[in-house]
Chains A and B, each alone.
Chain A
Amino acid sequence: MADADADLVLQTQKGSPAAFEALVRQHQRMIHSLTFRMTGSLADAEDLAQETFLRAYAQIGTFRGTAKFSTWLYRIAVNTCLNWRQSEARRFRLQANCAEEFSVQHLNWETAPAENQASQQVQSALLKLPAKQRAAIVLTIYDGLNHAEAAQVLGCSETTVSWRVFAARRKLKRWLSQTEARDE
């Protein structure tokens, strides 16, 4: 655990809300990115990020400092996302509206339409993955965790992570190739 985090965690465990607020400030971007990539929706990402911090505060007494605080927080965030149950109808609606939401979100990005469309295709493909495979991809590709670290976050073996990443990559390659072929 980083020294700054260690002190803040200790103070939070002693009952200091200000220390916890500092931890939130330090990790909010990282958790927000994770929840956004897991859900593909800014509104849901925000709700899940908040939920993650509320759970972390409720459970901080159980944090022993054997792992990094960020790993522990990642674990809570991933579990919160995995427990995020959406009905089939909502999932369908989300995928169908993905294009629309992206075009709205990217208004402030000043990105080219082609880049915008590529992002949208990737996000749609990610959302089609089973949640656990998506989590493995998000942690290893986007957050740069190695398979051992991802296994720690996901609470499974390294072999399971490797298998999930392998299966997810295979699917993503197929889906994205099909999209490319369709566009050409």
Chain B
Amino acid sequence: MNDFDLESKLKSLRVPERTEAYWNDFTTQVRVQLHRSRPELPTRSSGGLRFAFAGCFALALILVCFQFHPLQTVSLTIAKQERHFHMQLARLDSGLHKLMLNTDGMGYLLAEAN
């Protein structure tokens, strides 16, 4: 069988003819189905709106995750302890200075501490 024979054989397959009433009925059926399902007609701008909403939601989620992430809590504690350490270091520095100026420095410091 050559290509021409095949094409003519394939084209012998016809689609059954339908009456005009059938096509009117078909259109009505589609309309009824549309009415029944009432699909929300997507407008051109809905894609953009949906994208903006998704973006905002993702950003909010990232911020919340960042705020409550365990690493964030640990870093806050470290920063707090660091500040305390620096305060203590500054006090030690001034204490040492007093010790150097006073011959009875050690006794003075002990008295101050008490």
A-B CB contact pairs (8 Å), 12 listed? A13-B41, A13-B43, A28-B23, A28-B26, A42-B16, A46-B26, A61-B42, A108-B17, A169-B3, A173-B1, A176-B6, A180-B1
Query: CB < 8 Å: which of B3, B15, B34, B41 contacts A37?
Result: B15
Contact assessment for B30 and A137 in the assembled complex, using a CB-CB cutoff below 8 Å: no
How many chain B residues sit at the interface, stated as a range, is 20 to 34
1/0 contact trace for A7-28 toward B, CB 8 Å? 0000011010100110011001
Closest chain A residue, CB of each to CB of B37: A54
Tell me which residues across on chain A come within 8 A of B16, comparing CB atoms: 36, 42, 105-106, 108-109
Q: Which residues of B approach A to under 8 Å, CB–CB?
A: 1, 3, 6-7, 9-18, 23, 26-27, 29-31, 33-34, 37, 39, 41-44, 46-47
Q: Is the interface of A mostly helix, strand, loop or mixed?
A: helix
Q: Which residues does chain B contribute within 8 Å of A15, judged by CB atoms?
A: 41
Per CB-CB distance, the 7 closest pairs between chain A and chain B, nearest first, are: A61-B42, A122-B13, A58-B39, A33-B15, A173-B1, A177-B1, A53-B30
